[in-house]
Structure 1
């Protein structure tokens, strides 16, 4: 059942990105993001084996504006690192590494909306699951995909 659900969600994301003529980063985020979100929801972990190549791929896809992509990655990841340092119970290290990578796909003006949207998705997950502690990775991935695609 999980495989069918994942395939359906990936198909929907891929179709939306295709119809909207989204950048290549949207397709990469759809494929890897689905897998990362499921892993994070089930195990509360974001494996480096997926997050680090995702970040590298998103940087490579931004080759025409590499300087801006690196700056966005540093700002977005740095903000998450500050939260992690100040309140480690709010965010895991995998979320910080993921934020550095995802920042490369977002233009600088989209970073604040991405953080707000990611937090809203995480809050919605907490309400739906009726838990206080929910992973933040799915929210980060959903927000980044939405802002790069729509």
Structure 2
């Protein structure tokens, strides 16, 4: 059942990206995003074996603006690292690594909207789960995909 759901969501995201003539990063985000979101929702962890290649791939796709992409990765990842250092129970290390990779694909004006939208998605998930602990990774992935695709 999970495989069917995964394939359905992935094909839907790719169709939207194709219709909107989205950048290649949208397709990479869709593929890794669905898999990472499912893992994070189920196991509350984001494995380095997926987050690090995603970050590297997103950075490589931004080679035409490498300086800005590296700065975006440092700022977005750094902001999440600061939150983790301040309140370690609020965010895992996988979220920090994921945020750094995702920051590479976001333009600088989109970093704040990405943080707000990802937090909104996470809060909506928490409301749906009636206050139980929810991971932040799906919110980060959904917000980044939406902002880079739409």
TM above 0.5, yes or no, is: yes
Counterpart in the other structure of 2:144: 144
The Cα of 1:4 is off from its aligned counterpart by 0.8
Post-superposition CA distance 1:112-133 (Å, at most 9, x none):
0000000000001111111331
Counterpart in the other structure of 2:5: 5
Post-superposition CA distance 1:104-147 (Å, at most 9, x none):
01000000000000000000111111133100000000000000
Pairing 1:1-150 to 2, within 5 Å after superposition: 1-150=1-150
C-alpha separation between the residues in 2 aligned to 1:45 and 1:81? 16
Q: Which moved more, 1:124-133 or 1:86-95?
A: 124-133
C-alpha separation between the residues in 1 aligned to 2:128 and 2:4? 22
C-alpha separation between the residues in 2 aligned to 1:93 and 1:116? 19
TM-score normalised by the chain length of structure 2: 0.99
TM-score normalised by the chain length of structure 1: 0.99
Alignment length (residue pairs): 150
C-alpha separation between the residues in 1 aligned to 2:87 and 2:80? 10
The RMSD of aligned alpha carbons is 0.6
Q: Which moved more, 1:57-66 or 1:126-135?
A: 126-135
Give the SS at the match of 1:105.
coil
